[in-house]
Structure 1
Amino acid sequence: MDDPRKFDWNHIRAFLATAEAGSLSAAARRLDQTQPTLSRQIAALESDLGVMLFERVGRSLQITTAGIELLEHTRAMGAAADRIALAASGQAQSIEGQVRITASDVMSAYILPELLREIRAQAPKLRIDVIAANDIRDLMRREADIAIRHVRPDQPDLIAKLVQEADGHFYAATAYLNRAGRPKSLSDLSRHEFISFGDTAQMIAYFEPIGLHLTEENFRLGSQNGIVSWEFARQGFGIAPMSEPVGDATPGMERVLPDMEPLRFPIWLTTHRELHTSRRIRLVFDLLADFFAK
């Protein structure tokens, strides 16, 4: 588009609805428009952009590579438009029902409360059930509505959004470091005691690529419960990895090797495709996405 002022939201909305519904007829029903009108809007958008967004395969539409790239951006626009509409009409205050969020126990206890206050302010009638679990809950079985995880799900019927590349560090209690010494290098670090967060072998494998070589002997204490493991670290039993917001905010804890590059881990939001028809799930999903983006 040569002139950004010619940008037409109706054309974008038509594209977004068609891409998500998979057909013009389903998208037309969703937007309460006629199929020819929707087709003209998509054609106008393709003309403005100078790309083909859909290919007709038999009686169905197949989104093109250019369409997939555009979809990532338009979903964010659509979510923003929905929030504006909810806020302008005051509808967020009237949204009722339950939304179940599953997240790790550490995130549930230390990260989510700030976000839950914002949800309560915007939608006070919503009931939020937080399932604090470190295993990957199956959204397809409706064990939760929204999952916050560090891995992307592989089920094709789920919607997944990467909302943050978070930073983490190694931490230890000042009392432990005073007693065991403060490591100056990764090789020093390998001579210290570590706290296990459940799967010790998985932790050992995760640290190998950064040059930290640990064995089972480094892990003499741990728990499947992340809050318990973090408390063990806080009580001075050893070193533990932790996300930056939690580690830096915990009294009595110091970063170990503070000049070391942070440990990077992704944060994915996942939900089922009901996201686009349930106002309460959409609202919570978008608030979560904004929260982590900040």
Structure 2
Amino acid sequence: MTTAEPDWSLWRSFAAVVEHGSLSAAARVLGLSQPTLGRHVEALEAALGVTLFERTLAGLKPTDTALKLFEPVVGAQRALSEAALMAEGSSAALAGSVRITASTVMSHYVLPPLLAELRRSFPGIALELVPSDSVENLLLREADIAVRMFRPTQLELIARKLGEIPIVACAHQSYIERRGAPRTVAELLDHDLVGFDRSDLIISTARRLGFELQRADFVLRTDSQTAMWELLKAGLGIGFAQAGMVQDAPGMRVVLPDFAVPPLEVWLTTHRELFTSRRIRAIYDRLGEGLTNHLARIGR
């Protein structure tokens, strides 16, 4: 009598536990409960007749057998994802959903009016927006389209540079009235600076420009870029932001207009298989057009 093959959901749960190191972490990634993950692991062990994890006080430790099985299971996941991409790419309908990921600042302050135009043009397409400052994996369908601030390098991706976003030093008028505006870059150190907490992006960029900054120079620190923008709008100090946002925000002013901060590149990206989907191509093209017009406006 032939034993039925384990359901794919069991293999997926197994791979997640190996990759993320615990039932709780794997459950968060898969959107399942920890007891469900535990039952999946036990069911797979029973179906295969092998022990996949050693139960220790520190959690589940993969056995040698589990480690040998992990790579082919991950390969199968990748193959299934590619098959789904190919099937998605064959869709000719202007209906369904398109998932877009962009940085939190872009998602909160730049994209909403552009997405409103997309909804008017394509009412049959639902839009899913994923604000994230991490790199989403297009291949594994965490997004259909990505707005990146760097050039993607994966061969599977189609990427189009839309332009550049000028970055400026800025402060709210209320801060300038209270503390004055710096006349030179060196005078920035005499002001309340708003910057990152753990990220060294501003510090490393300043050093490349020949200007020395330390973490302690920022009297207000956060790694949330949207929170940083709100702090600046509240008049709490001087920081750096997209020129277009400064132009559009009441009371915000550019300081040190001659300080040449490197601009951010803007790339629109999708997977080459998804590019043949009519609805994804429609959103990709129209979003690219909207962002290009936005970049042209703020670059004037």
Normalising by structure 2, we get a TM-score of 0.63
In structure 2, the residue matched to 1:119 is 118
| CA positional deviation for 1:293 | 2.0
Q: Any residues of structure 2 matched to 1:103-182 within 5 Å, and which?
A: 103-182=102-181
Q: Name the amino acid aligned to 1:208.
A: R
Query: Structure 2, unaligned stretches of length 5 or more?
Result: 1-91, 294-300
In structure 1, the residue matched to 2:189 is 190
| CA positional deviation for 1:102 | 0.6
In structure 2, the residue matched to 1:85 is none
Q: Any residues of structure 2 matched to 1:1-294 within 5 Å, and which?
A: 95-197=94-196, 199-261=198-260, 263-294=262-293
Normalising by structure 1, we get a TM-score of 0.64
| CA positional deviation for 1:136 | 1.3
| CA positional deviation for 1:199 | 4.1
Residue aligned with 2:154, SS: coil
Q: How many residues align?
A: 202
Q: Name the amino acid aligned to 1:142.
A: R
CA distance 1:111–1:154, change in 2 (3 Å) = same
| CA positional deviation for 1:134 | 1.1
Query: Structure 1, unaligned stretches of length 5 or more?
Result: 1-91
CA distance in 1, matches of 2:287, 2:200: 31
CA distance in 2, matches of 1:254, 1:283: 37
CA distance in 2, matches of 1:130, 1:224: 21
Residue aligned with 1:139, SS: coil
- The Cα RMSD (Å) is 1.9
Q: Name the amino acid aligned to 1:241.
A: F
**Which 4+ runs in 1 deviate beyond 4 A?**
none
CA distance in 2, matches of 1:277, 1:135: 26
CA distance 1:133–1:198, change in 2 (3 Å) = farther
CA distance 1:270–1:144, change in 2 (3 Å) = same
Query: Contact 2:194–2:232 at 8 Å: present in 1 too?
Result: yes
Query: Contact 1:169–1:263 at 8 Å: present in 2 too?
Result: no
Q: Deviations over 1:93-129 (max 9, x none)?
A: x711111111111111111122112211211111001
Q: Which has the higher contact order (CA 8 A, sep 6+)?
A: 2
Residue aligned with 1:121, SS: helix
| CA positional deviation for 1:222 | 2.6
CA distance 1:185–1:223, change in 2 (3 Å) = same
Q: Name the amino acid aligned to 2:228.
A: S
